[in-house]
Chains A and B, each alone.
Chain A
Amino acid sequence: MQSTTSFSDIPEAVVSVDASERSVAITLDAELYPLQAVYGAAYIFIDRCYVFVDRPQPGRYRVTLAAKQDVAEPEALRAVVGEFANELLACAWRHQITQDNRVAIETVTVQAIAGAMGEPSLDDLADFDFTDEALDDPLGIAQSWEEKHGRPAPAKAEAEAKSEEEAPA
């Protein structure tokens, strides 16, 4: 026989209690609590409860927590709900902080890894391939004026002019 009740201090639309199954079902707004936060909170309760997550309707998650051990008093299930809600909030906030600082975290991580690799050795420097074309320059912006228009380089042009002056007319 199934007996579904609710806690007096929590709306029934949010939490429902099934005393016969020793379980509580918590309905969450997916906009407030991302799935990663739900995963995080659920994972922490796996050792104490049987946890099941589903979607009763679009934009909602429902987390069902069934106590593994016997819980005689409803207060014990109420405590599970409160602890899960706290954990969920902490996970959601950590997720938000991670999202906000993702670029900084990745930058620091890359710098740490690059620093751990150490300075290049003399052999590494000697073997460095300078012929590798690192710059793709389809418009020729990096080219000098002389290279781009086929004119002689300034030193060469100066030498040619000098030789013309010195040559007898």
Chain B
Amino acid sequence: MSASAARELSFPRDIYAGEAIDEAVKTWSGFADFALRETDDHWIVALTPKPEYQAHARRIVGEFGNAVLGMTIDRGGAT
């Protein structure tokens, strides 16, 4: 979880809910820029902390991942 550059997270589609990713992106869009794409197996999120939050990159990436996981579990899983 580097503190300088963009970080790409690959969320397996059978573990994480796509709606949870969308919701987490909305929540965290004030702290980072997001680029989303998908493959057959993964939701891929490229996350770049905004310049003023570069020092908190590790925290932003980690909390974003926690938010996606938490919302996925709250929804009852990936499906």
Min Cβ gap A28→B in Å is 12
Known A-B contacts A51-B69, A68-B62; the reply to A35 vs B1 at CB < 8 A is no
Known A-B contacts A21-B1, A39-B77; the reply to A46 vs B66 at CB < 8 A is yes
**Are B1 and A46 interface neighbours, CB within 8 A?**
no
The answer to whether A54 has its CB under 8 Å from any CB of chain B is: yes
Known A-B contacts A35-B77, A36-B77, A43-B73; the reply to A55 vs B15 at CB < 8 A is yes
Min Cβ gap B5→A in Å is 15
**Are B66 and A51 interface neighbours, CB within 8 A?**
yes
**Are A39 and B10 interface neighbours, CB within 8 A?**
no
Q: In whole angstroms, how far apart are the Cα atoms of A43 and B12 in the complex? A: 17
**Are A51 and B77 interface neighbours, CB within 8 A?**
no
**Are A66 and B70 interface neighbours, CB within 8 A?**
no
The answer to whether B22 has its CB under 8 Å from any CB of chain A is: no
Q: From the candidates B15, B66, B72, name the one contacting A50 in the complex (CB within 8 A).
A: B66
**Are B69 and A52 interface neighbours, CB within 8 A?**
yes
Q: State the main secondary structure of chain B at its contact with A.
A: helix
Q: Mark B65-76, 1 if CB is under 8 A from A, else 0.
A: 110011011000
Please, which residue of chain B has its CB at the minimum distance from the CB of A47?
A: B66
The answer to whether B14 has its CB under 8 Å from any CB of chain A is: yes
Q: In whole angstroms, how far apart are the Cα atoms of A66 and B59 in the complex? A: 10
**Are B14 and A53 interface neighbours, CB within 8 A?**
no
Q: Mark B1-28, 1 if CB is under 8 A from A, else 0.
A: 1000000011110111000000000000
Q: In whole angstroms, how far apart are the Cα atoms of A68 and B59 in the complex? A: 8
Q: In whole angstroms, how far apart are the Cα atoms of A36 and B63 in the complex? A: 21
**Are A54 and B15 interface neighbours, CB within 8 A?**
yes
Residues of B within 8 A of A52 (CB): 9, 65, 69
Residues of A whose CB lies within 8 Å of any CB of B are: 21, 23, 35-36, 39, 42-43, 46, 50-55, 61, 66, 68
> What are 27 of the A-B contact pairs (CB < 8 Å)?
A23-B1, A35-B14, A35-B15, A35-B77, A36-B77, A39-B72, A39-B77, A42-B69, A42-B73, A43-B70, A43-B73, A46-B66, A46-B69, A46-B70, A50-B62, A50-B63, A50-B65, A53-B12, A53-B16, A53-B69, A54-B15, A55-B12, A55-B14, A61-B15, A66-B62, A68-B59, A68-B62
Residues of B whose CB lies within 8 Å of any CB of A are: 1, 9-12, 14-16, 58-59, 61-63, 65-66, 69-70, 72-73, 77
